């Protein structure tokens, strides 16, 4: 996607080291990126840290942004930061989850333990939540979501399908059979 001319001028000023121009970029994309990061990380403070890191990295790499819309570029950085942040801070939790799976096999969700969507989203793997957030919140196509998360399109299709199945299972929603 090409940049619109006004935005192109702002990016040019950023490349020249104009920090005020970069604040225009923050104003334009910051809120949606923060909301998306919050959906993935499930924590406001972590999301803010991830977005701060996103924009600082974007500033450092602004020279690498060519004649493309900065939106997808910033989204890629933000997704990377969000998922990395989650992994860094939840290593221990991830380990316990892995041992839990090895010992107990796949969890079955009883009808009494059905969760609402917010809690069900908490249970997803961050990669799945990122896919769900981009596809269903940012309304990116499957192809765009795959690009943002740097995975093949088929992998993304499968990831979305798995995430959706898991959410249905956790919330007790009936799955539509094709």
Binding site residues, another protein, CB under 8 A: 1, 4-6, 9, 19-20, 22-24, 26-28, 30-32, 34-36, 38-39, 44, 48, 51-52, 55-56, 59, 69, 71, 117-118, 132-133, 136-137, 139-141, 143, 164, 167-168, 173, 176, 178
The alpha carbon of residue 178 and the mean position of all alpha carbons in its chain are separated, in whole angstroms, by 28
Contact between 115 and 171 (Cβ < 8 Å): yes
Which CB, 76 or 172, lies closer to another protein?
A: 172
Rounded least distance, CB 129 to another protein, Å: 10
Residue 27 and residue 42: Cα distance in Å, rounded? Answer: 22
Which CB, 83 or 140, lies closer to another protein?
A: 140
Which CB, 56 or 113, lies closer to another protein?
A: 56
- By the 10 Å C-beta count (0-12 exposed, 13-18 middle, 19+ buried), 35 is classed as middle
Rounded least distance, CB 173 to another protein, Å: 5
Residue 7 and residue 22: Cα distance in Å, rounded? Answer: 11
SS3 of the chain: helix, strand, coil, percent, to 5:
75, 0, 25
Residue 72 and residue 75: Cα distance in Å, rounded? Answer: 5
Which CB, 31 or 95, lies closer to another protein?
A: 31
Rounded least distance, CB 62 to another protein, Å: 10
Match 């998922």 to its residue by tokens.
83
Rounded least distance, CB 111 to another protein, Å: 17
Rounded least distance, CB 101 to another protein, Å: 25
């Amino acid at each position: 996607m090409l940049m619109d001319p006004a935005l192109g001028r702002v990016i040019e000023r950023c490349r020249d080291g104009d920090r005020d121009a970069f604040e225009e970029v923050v104003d334009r994309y910051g809120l949606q990126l923060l909301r998306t990061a919050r959906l993935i990380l499930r924590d406001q403070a972590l999301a803010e840290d991830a977005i701060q890191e996103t924009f600082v990295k974007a500033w450092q790499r602004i020279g690498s942004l060519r004649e493309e819309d900065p939106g997808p570029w910033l989204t890629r950085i933000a997704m990377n930061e969000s998922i990395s942040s989650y992994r860094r801070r939840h290593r221990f939790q991830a380990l316990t989850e892995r041992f839990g799976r090895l010992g107990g096999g796949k969890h079955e969700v009883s009808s009494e333990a059905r969760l609402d969507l917010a809690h069900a989203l908490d249970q997803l793997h961050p990669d799945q939540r990122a896919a769900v957030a981009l596809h269903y919140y940012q309304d990116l196509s499957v192809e765009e979501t795959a690009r943002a998360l740097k995975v093949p399109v088929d992998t993304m299709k499968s990831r979305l399908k798995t995430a959706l199945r898991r959410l249905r299972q956790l919330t007790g929603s009936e799955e539509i059979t094709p």
